[in-house]
Amino acid sequence: MLFLYLSALETEDERSKMAEIYETLHYTCLSVAMRITKNQAMAEDAVHNAFISLIKHKEKYLSLSRCKLRSQIVIIVKNKAIDLLRGEKNISEEPIDESDIISYEFDISEHIISKEAYKELVDCVSLLPEHYKVVFQLRYYHELSNKEIAEMLDEPQRHISVKIHRAKKELKKLLLKEGKQSG
């Protein structure tokens, strides 16, 4: 009987953590999903899918600090919302061509020579499509490897390398455009 009681205590502790996450971040997740889907039903689906993913890897997420956990949950919700939106609009992602990576060199240092120029860089990052921002945030904010990002987003690892490369290309395009507009 003792082990039954101990089991109940252990699960109650875990259950309360998951319940706490749900209660403290549910509306945040819904709001983030709404920004992308613009549709409450689809946003609720995205939140539901995000929590399924969260439960699946909960050992990893429950060990994070509150701040990092909130950030990762927001990113997961955004990713699920993007997937649903893509499915709804029947949009497929551009085919992955790994040969792109070999030929491209990412160099923005020449553009960033002042505080204002750095601010423009931050603005350009915010203008990136969400699916590019997600991989950037996981790589640079959460410092995850390509393999970890691939596991989290449920995509092949090689897709992540190509997405990061494309995101950089897109960012440079935005910077050049911004430079011409202000120049």
Partner 1 sequence: MVSENKANLSEALLRSAVIDDHINELESIPTEEELKARYTISHHHEVRMKALLRKEQYRILRYTIFNNAKRAAIFAIILSALFFGMLMTNSEVRASVSNVISEWFDGFTRFIFPDNPTAHESTEWVIGFVPDGFVKTERIDIGYSSLIVYANVDNIEVMLHYAPTGYISFAVDDEQAEFERTYFNGIEFHMFVPMAENYPSRIIWTQDGFAFLLEGHVSIDELLRMAHTVTKK
Interface map 123-142 toward partner 1 (x if CB under 8 A): -xxx------x--xx-xxx-
168 touching partner 1, by CB under 8 A: yes
Cβ pair 76, 170 in contact under 8 A: no
Cβ pair 78, 55 in contact under 8 A: no
Beta strands in 35-175, from DSSP E residues, in sequence order: none
Q: Site for partner 1 (CB under 8 A): which residue of 64, 69, 101, 108?
A: 108
DSSP letter (8 states) at residue 160: H
104 touching partner 1, by CB under 8 A: no
91 touching partner 1, by CB under 8 A: no
Taking the C-alpha atoms of residue 27 and residue 32, their distance in angstroms, rounded to an integer, is 9
Q: Site for partner 1 (CB under 8 A): which residue of 69, 96, 101, 112?
A: 112
Taking the C-alpha atoms of residue 25 and residue 17, their distance in angstroms, rounded to an integer, is 12
Q: Site for partner 1 (CB under 8 A): which residue of 60, 98, 106, 179?
A: 106
Cβ pair 78, 60 in contact under 8 A: no
33 touching partner 1, by CB under 8 A: no
Taking the C-alpha atoms of residue 25 and residue 31, their distance in angstroms, rounded to an integer, is 10
Residues in contact with partner 1 by the rule CB under 8 A: 3-4, 6-8, 10-11, 14-15, 18-19, 22, 24-28, 30-32, 34, 40-41, 44, 47-48, 51-52, 55, 70-71, 74, 105-110, 112, 118, 121-122, 124-126, 133, 136-137, 139-141, 168, 171
